[in-house]
Amino acid sequence: MNSSSFKQPPRVGFVSLGCPKATVDSEQVLTRLSAEGYEISVSSEDVDLVIINTCGFIEAAIEESLDAIGEALAGNGKVIVIGCLGARAKLIWETYPQVLAVVGPHATDTVMRVVHRFLPKPGHTNPVPPEGIHLTPSHYAYLKISEGCNHDCTFCIIPMLRGPLESRPIHEVMQEAETLVSAGVREILVIAQDTPAYGLDMGYRTGFWNGRPIKTRLLELASALGELGVWIRLHYMYPYPAVDKIVELMAEGKILPYLDVPFQHASPRILQAMQRPANSENALERIRRWRDVCPDITIRSTFITGFPGETEEEYGQLLRFLEEARLDRVGAFAYSPVEGALANDLPGAVPEDLREERRQQLMELQEDISTQCLEARIGQEITVLVDEVNEEEGAIARSPGDAPDIDGLVIIPEGDGIKPGDFVCVRITDCDVHDLYAERLDRDD
């Protein structure tokens, strides 16, 4: 078979599932496909094959990925599976032996070799912008600074799926960030599996950016990114002591005052069983210090309910922690016994319905706390970044304390003259459980 067999350029359907780190993997594959001349479709119909980038982190994500594979096979029949679930190739082959190939995560070169095997390169190439193909709106983008993780959290199989920590050279990260800004990106969302560990595997060696030496370490990277004149938002901030220095950068206005730090629980015993930092009192004290240093900071976290062995008292300890910490944003997950996770072998399994009941109760408590945090912002004047404008709601924006997809919105009912990607000065006028409402202040600008 050769490219002359096709009356039109070969078409590839693409489905991207999972977290922002998987999104970046998808963007890299899509960029290569497009550059080589393939046409890309979000549908599995009227395409020559389908690529599905899967998630394998928890059981619900695994089921979603398997369902997507099944739907693509039924609709097209020619499917390549990539991504985190691809690291569990045996499961995929046993479920769907008719898939063309299975490739693990963060393996763009391998994916392309597999595509070439089943769908030869077109006879032409396509121009691709310097920043590549992105699945996010043009005004914000994810910047992945490292791959993998060195932790052995007992509820997690990410090191099994994505391997150990592997940091990118700092000059490469900064060059990509500069390219994004040159392309019009107004917000860079820095991601990794363990963002504060950036450079640890390299011994924090010195690199160079614009002719000046710079350590391969998050503090120096965040400071350099802060010079680019756009919003810099840090995600997946494992609670190392070094995070305290990052908060100082936030207080100085170099990066957004937004801290996404997964505490996971508050019981010392449960934290030890999770192999996480095991002192909730220290966590509360650090939260107080962060707020003293940077009063405008927004703190987001995630927690797991129903971890094996979690007693009513330990669950109550988690609720009391939330009442005292008064975090701005919280996500919660009922414990999911993913195959390969060490926690599955711990004694005291909590029934599934109780795990979910505790999750719902936690979220109800946090809903009240989050609403009170939003109410306290009424009357404040802030700058927001506009994501969307429509006739029904006006301008849909985000504050410095709101990350895309996971946090709230700022609704500006009078959205005339505002465009996606605009920074707009507003005054907060009202709120509901999740979102803020605002009036524009710079109408005459």
Does residue 208 contact residue 175 with C-beta atoms inside 8 Å?
no
Average pLDDT in the 405-416 region? Answer: 92
Where would I find the H helices in 76-185? 89-95, 108-118, 158-162, 170-182
Q: How confident is the model at residue 278 (pLDDT cuts 50, 70, 90)?
A: low
DSSP lists the bridge partners of residue 39 as 11
Smallest Cα–Cα separation from 287: which of 243, 332, 254, 250?
243
CA-CA distance, 363 to 357, in Å (whole number)? 10
Is the predicted pLDDT of residue 307 greater than 70, yes or no? yes
Identify the band that residue 280 occupies on the pLDDT scale cut at 50, 70 and 90: low
Global pTM? 0.92
Burial of 272 (0-12, 13-18, 19+ CB in 10 A): middle
Confidence of residue 324 (pLDDT cuts 50, 70, 90): very high
| Tokens read off for 381 | 């004047």
Q: Rounded distance, CA 260 to CA 271, Å?
A: 18
Q: What was the pLDDT predicted at 4?
A: 43
Q: What is the pLDDT of residue 7?
A: 58
Average pLDDT along the chain: 92
Model confidence pLDDT, tens digit, residues 59-106:
888 999 999 999 999 988 899 999 999 888 999 999 999 999 999 988
Going by C-alpha positions, the residue among 103, 24, 100 that lies closest to residue 56 is 103
Kindly compute the dihedral angle of the four CA atoms of residues 121, 127, 131, 137, in this order, to the nearest 10 degrees.
-90
DSSP string, 19-38: SHHHHHHHHHHHHHHHHTT-
b/e per residue 183-194 (b: at least 16 CB within 10 A): eebbbbbbbbbb
Look up residue 26 and give its two tokens: 């998808």
The amino acid that residue 299 corresponds to is: I
Q: Report percent pLDDT > 70 for the chain.
A: 96
Asked if residue 233 lies in contact with residue 142, where contact means CB atoms within 8 angstroms, the answer is no
- Bridge partner residues of 260 (DSSP): 300
User: At 274, is the secondary structure helix, strand, or coil?
Assistant: helix
Tokens of 225: 């990114």
Tell me what the mean pLDDT of segment 200-223 comes to: 96
Amino acid at 310: E
Q: Which residue has the higher pLDDT, 142 or 9?
A: 142
* CB distance 72 to 35 below 8 Å: no
Res. 14: pLDDT tops 80: yes
Residues 93-142 pLDDT 10s: 999 999 999 999 888 999 999 999 999 988 888 899 999 999 999 999 99
The arithmetic mean of pLDDT across residues 199-218, rounded, is 95
Which residue from 403, 25, 383 is spatially nearest to 189, judged by alpha carbons?
A: 403
d(CA 193, CA 369): 28
> Which domains are present in the chain?
3-118 (3.40.50.12160), 140-375 (3.80.30.20), 381-440 (2.40.50.140)
pLDDT computed for residue 365 by the predictor: 97
